[in-house]
Each structure stands twice: as structure tokens, then as C-alpha cells.
Homo-oligomer: A and B are copies of this chain.
Amino acid sequence: MNIEQKIINSIRVVSADAIQKANSGHPGLPMGAAPMAYTLWSRHLNVNPDDVNWINRDRFVLSAGHGSMLLYSLLHLYGFKVSMEDIKNFRQLNSNTPGHPEYGMTDGVETSTGPLGQGVGMAVGLAMAEKHLAAKFNKEDAKIVDHYTYVLCGDGDLMEGISSEASSLAGTLGLSKLIMLYDSNSITIEGSTDLAFTEDVAKRYEAYGWQVLKVEDGNDILAIDNAIKEAKAEQKKPTIIIITTKIGYGSPNKVGKASAHGAPLGEDEIEKMREFLQWDYKPFEIPEEIYDETKRQLDKKLEIYNNYQTDLKAYKEKYPKDFKDFEIAISGKSDEDIFDDEYFSFEKDMASRAASGILLNRIANKLPTMFGGSADLAPSNKTFMENSDSFSNENPLGKNIHFGVREHGMAAIANGILLHGGLRSYCATFLVFSDYMKGAMRLSALMEIPQIYILTHDSIGVGEDGPTHQPIDQLAMLRSIPNMKVFRPADFTETAYAWKYAMESEKSPVSIALTRQNLEALENSGEGVMNGAYIVSEAKNELKMILIATGSEVATAINAKEKSEFKDNIRVVSMPSMELFEEQTDEYKEKILPKNIEKRISVEALSTFGWGNYTGIKGINIGMNSFGKSAPANQVFEDFKINEEGILQAIKELFKS
């Protein structure tokens, strides 16, 4: 057996052994896809295990994240910080080899994957970032951004709509440096793909404008190598290489069967696998010759890395200004003061979405790394950066991305852009359609990346478009995602602080909910936003009741208070962000919401779910407990009594009790 075949088998065996030891995991994919992954890593993938954040490394995304042992095996063999001890701890508490690859937990893992299709979306984002940055920084004689993005996916990834969305856009944008290895093993959990997936994938990808290549035998590493070469040579289109494999290859009895997918092979079958693969080593033993070979391959990769560093030095000398911009871009920090007085100043009242549009443009004027857009709602979301054009195949310098009507794909792509480095991404749609992208939004939070979600038309204030377009449940949905910071600003000042927080966030994604309708500026809005909640109207005399409101309802709450006979005993708190408030000291929280004040009313024109945390068992939550209605916005507010009258009624009720 030649050394390459031996390495491939080592991946298969180590994967199966680790899964057996954990008594949990998915051996089918690592065993079937080991040859394609090895071919890619050994002959093509430019990486440096000692500089895992190297901006020009090739990106490898394992979209079929359940095949995590494939990735851990490769990381181990190629010198990343995944020891054999780590592999023995596969799927164990606090190990760096969790069940699915997790970004930030393991060196060399580019993205968290597992929820199918997300990896394809993020790979499209990585390739878009590369294309944009290359257009920005490369010179005729010096290409400092010039790498490929590879994604390995399975049938499940390609059945998910999110990958359709992202792949269609990748075709439109001509992302020729995006290369997808499709592990086509014709098996899913329920059985043969014939049950549910008989489409002609090749034809579908041709329809998207991709180059389609095929490898009939997934064990034929020469054919795989040639296909990857052909893919890299293509200058106009992304490439999918459809590689026919056998799931669980190496296991004589489970090969080609659904039973190989998601459960350990079993001790007996593992013995038979060793026989079949002629593998004479003990579990977790890899012969030196294999390490020698991967080390030899790695040395070549390091040569490429070192050449890049030399080229970069030359670039620095020849193009000092660009180099400085490049460094700033990679650092993710601006050297300008974005948040000056001008940033916070507005001339007139306006909808918070309009304020957001102005703020985004102010930021973009100072920060050249902004790169984002909307799922075909830019004019409504107010997300177009006027200082730039549309990003397209013909004009990759454009900063405004047209994602199309593809919310889920958009969010995954934006995650990929942010993960790439060198850019600050954002994306936008109506708040109600955050429903469509929840899966990818959750991944932003899980990966701890500061994605920015602009979500406009944030309540029944949507008006005539009616219940399908009026968000009710969406704020609660977003607030319940760990590490997601949700803002619902009450006027332009609060919007400005929300954007400031979003731009300064390092580990948390931020969702900003914005109104369609006009908002009057509050007298006392301000920096308190950064504490999540603060007093916007204080009780003149003894404090007996607290109104807590967000967004468009803050002004309504203040106005209602002013009309109340009890106004001197009522405080109004604006709570633009529950999450930020939760991060404050107990002292601060007690100052804003003293526990002994039990008369509490929340006002928010969305689901009341979750407000009990602040209003308690005896409080009243004014909001929506049904879907909305199609009618002019003010009539809808009246109809649901989310208005001064409704608040005054609640105040009376509580003072009676």
C-alpha cells in the first residue's frame, strides 16, 4: 500500500476508533470522504498550523459538520493543535474535539457547522469577502488577497434551501475561487436518497451558473486531484465537484448503508474494518511514516506561506498607504473617531429605520470596511451605502450586497464574510422575516461573532401589510438566543447608541429592531442605552409605579403618564435592550427597577412573552397576544389598545389593587 493510501486509511480508522470510544458520532462520512479530503489537504490547501489566522490561508469549511472526525483527523495530521489525546477525548466535556466543529474552540476550524446547509452559505460569504478584498488591495504585481474557499458538503446540505439560496447567488456573482466538494453517497438517515432526492444536482448547479465536474470513484485520488486543479483554473464560475462515494467505506458490512451514518460501527465491525483496510495498528496509533509524509507536505505549505510574507513585505514598501489600510482592515478597528458629535446629531424627528440609514452612512463614510446589504428590501430597510456601488461580478469593489429574496442564505453569507476577516458585515430584512433566518442568526451567536442585523418594520406599526408582515413573536425569539443582543430604540438618539454598541461589539451579534413609522425624539434619551434600560421620565414625588417601554411605545408611555392623575408617582423606563440591562450590576438594576415597587407595567407592541421577568406576577404587560390586523398603523394601535388609553386604563387598574 502506498503512503497516501495509508494516510487515507489512517483517517478512516482513527475516525471510527474515536467514535467507538465516545460511543457516539458519525463514522460514515469520514470513511467515505477521506480520499477527497486528503487529496485537498495534501495537494492544495494552503494553511499554516502555526499561524491559523493568516489572512490569505485557503478556507476549508466542513459543511457536513457531523463528519467532524474527518476534520479533527486532518487537523491532527497536519500539525494543528489537535493531539491524539484530544482525539481520544472526542465528544467529551470541555475537550477541543466536540461533536460538531465549533469555531473558536479548535484551531483550524473555520466555522461552526452541523445544522445542514449553513457551511455552504458561509463558504459563499468567505469567497465574497475574498473577491471584494482582492479587488480592494491587490495590485497588478502584488496579490496579497488570493486564496480559495473549499467546502465539503453532503446530500443533506444540498437538500436544504439555504444552500440553494447561497449557491444561486454565488453563480450570479461568479465566485470562481469557491470550490465545493460534494460527497455524493446516495444515503441519508431514512435510507436511499431515492426516497426524497432524485433531482439532477449537476444540472441544477449548471442552472446556477457553476462549473460542474464529476468524479465517478470517490477513492480515485488522481481523478479528485485533477478535478480540483480544473476547478482552480476556472476563472469565471464557482465549481462543484460531484464525487460519488460509498458511505462508511472500509466497513465491510455497513458500507453503503444508512446504518453507517450516525452510530459507532461496533467493536466487531471495527475489527473487520481493520482487516479490510489492512490496518495493523492499535487504536489511536499512527505509524511514524505517516507523520513524516504529512510533515513533508506541510513543509511545502510553509514555503508558500513564507513566500507570501516576503511578497507582503514588498507590498508594504511599494504601497505603504494600501498596506496600512490592509492592516487596519484586518485588525477590525478604525483609526477614525466614528462616534463624534456629528454622529449623534439629527435635524428632525424621523422613523428609526431612517435614522439607522443615516447612521449607517455616517459610519460607512469613516470606516471603509463596511460590506453588507439587504434581502431585496434595501429601500425599505434603508441599508444602502451611498458612498459606494453595488457589489457584483463586474464591480467587486462595490460595498452594497444585493442578496436577493434569500434571508437565510443572506445571514449565513454575512457570517462567512465576518469570519473571513478584513470586513465589517451587516444584513437586513423586515423584523418579521427574521423567522426565515433564525438558523443562521443562532450560529452568529454561537460562534460569538458580532454580526449586525438590521430589522425594520418592527411592530403592528407596519399597518396595511397585515399580520403576515407584522412581527409579534420575533423579538422574544431573538431575545431568547443566548449571546444575541437585541435593541429596540425609541428615537434617533437611541438608534445611534444601538449602532455604536453594534460596531463596538466583539463577541456578540446585535439585532436592531427599527420602526417603519415616524418617532418623536425623546427629551431624555441618551447614553443610558448602553446600560440596557434607564429612566426617561422620573416620578416627581414618591415612586409607586414603573412603566417600562421600548421603541415606539416609550413616547406613548411618557404621554400616558403625563395624562395620569398619578403622574407624580410614576417613573418611565426606556428599556432598549434587556440583555444589556441584565449585564449591569445588581445595584444599577435596583436603582432603575427597585424590587419593592411591585406596580409595574410593560408596554411593547409585540408579544408580551418574557416581560414577566420585569413586571412580575402582579404586573400588567401591554402588548400583543394575538396576530395583528391589516389597516392603517394608527388604527391598528387603537384597535389593540396599545395607546395612551390602554396604558391609562392599566395604571388605574394597578393603583386600584
**A415 touches B (CB below 8 Å):** no
Q: Which residues of B contact A613 (CB under 8 A)?
A: 609-613, 617
B612 touching A464, Cβ below 8 Å: no
A406 with B199, Cβ < 8 A, contacts A438-B435, A468-B446, A636-B93 known: no
Nearest B residue to A112, CB-CB: B468
Interface string of A375-392 (1 = CB under 8 A from B): 011111000000000101
A480 with B477, Cβ < 8 A, contacts A98-B630, A392-B195 known: yes
CA distance A392 to B164 in the complex (A): 24
Those of A171-214 within 8 Å (CB) of chain B: 171-172, 188-191, 195-204, 206-209
CA distance A464 to B66 in the complex (A): 11
A374 touching B190, Cβ below 8 Å: yes
CA distance A551 to B339 in the complex (A): 48
A98 touching B172, Cβ below 8 Å: no
CA distance A514 to B627 in the complex (A): 27
The residue from B159, B168, B374, B436 contacting A406, defined by CB atoms under 8 A apart: B159
Nearest B residue to A210, CB-CB: B199
**A25 touches B (CB below 8 Å):** yes
**A269 touches B (CB below 8 Å):** no
A463 touching B24, Cβ below 8 Å: yes
B92 touching A631, Cβ below 8 Å: yes
**A618 touches B (CB below 8 Å):** yes
B446 touching A435, Cβ below 8 Å: no
Those of A433-450 within 8 Å (CB) of chain B: 433, 435-436, 438-439, 442-443, 445-446
Q: Which residues of B contact A161 (CB under 8 A)?
A: 160-165, 406, 408-409
CA distance A432 to B118 in the complex (A): 14
Q: Which residues of B contact A436 (CB under 8 A)?
A: 115, 160, 162, 408, 438-439
**A469 touches B (CB below 8 Å):** yes
Nearest B residue to A189, CB-CB: B376
Pick the interface stretch among A1-9, A344-352, A397-405, A558-566. A397-405
Nearest B residue to A374, CB-CB: B190
A99 with B627, Cβ < 8 A, contacts A189-B379, A196-B403 known: no
B159 touching A94, Cβ below 8 Å: no
**A472 touches B (CB below 8 Å):** yes
B209 touching A198, Cβ below 8 Å: yes
CA distance A445 to B448 in the complex (A): 32
A199 touching B189, Cβ below 8 Å: no
The residue from B380, B467, B610 contacting A612, defined by CB atoms under 8 A apart: B610
Q: Which residues of B contact A163 (CB under 8 A)?
A: 161
Those of A83-107 within 8 Å (CB) of chain B: 91-95, 98-100, 102
**A113 touches B (CB below 8 Å):** yes
Q: Which residues of B contact A198 (CB under 8 A)?
A: 171-172, 209
A404 touching B112, Cβ below 8 Å: no
A248 to chain B, nearest CB (A): 16
**A357 touches B (CB below 8 Å):** no
Q: Which residues of B contact A100 (CB under 8 A)?
A: 465-469, 630
B159 touching A190, Cβ below 8 Å: no
Q: Which residues of B contact A207 (CB under 8 A)?
A: 199-204, 206-207
CA distance A550 to B611 in the complex (A): 20
Q: Which residues of B contact A203 (CB under 8 A)?
A: 203-204, 206-207
CA distance A221 to B100 in the complex (A): 54
**A490 touches B (CB below 8 Å):** no
**A156 touches B (CB below 8 Å):** yes
B102 touching A377, Cβ below 8 Å: no
**A648 touches B (CB below 8 Å):** no
B402 touching A190, Cβ below 8 Å: yes
B469 touching A480, Cβ below 8 Å: no
B195 touching A390, Cβ below 8 Å: yes
Q: Which residues of B contact A407 (CB under 8 A)?
A: 160
A618 to chain B, nearest CB (A): 7
A456 to chain B, nearest CB (A): 13
Most buried by B among A112, A433, A598, A612: A612
Those of A271-297 within 8 Å (CB) of chain B: none
B464 touching A188, Cβ below 8 Å: no
CA distance A220 to B165 in the complex (A): 32
**A301 touches B (CB below 8 Å):** no
B188 touching A468, Cβ below 8 Å: no
A196 with B169, Cβ < 8 A, contacts A406-B161, A439-B435, A609-B476 known: yes
**A256 touches B (CB below 8 Å):** no
**A481 touches B (CB below 8 Å):** yes
CA distance A584 to B24 in the complex (A): 43
Interface string of A620-657 (1 = CB under 8 A from B): 00001111011110011001000000000000000000
**A320 touches B (CB below 8 Å):** no
Q: Which residues of B contact A616 (CB under 8 A)?
A: 612, 616-618
CA distance A483 to B609 in the complex (A): 13
5 contacts between A and B (CB under 8 A): A98-B466, A115-B468, A161-B408, A201-B207, A612-B614
Given A114-B465, A443-B468, A612-B612, 17 new contacts (CB under 8 A): A91-B631, A92-B630, A92-B631, A93-B636, A94-B631, A114-B468, A115-B468, A161-B406, A164-B165, A172-B196, A172-B199, A190-B374, A190-B376, A472-B481, A480-B480, A610-B612, A611-B613
What 8 A-B pairs come out closest when comparing CB atoms? A161-B161, A612-B613, A196-B404, A114-B468, A98-B630, A476-B480, A203-B207, A93-B631
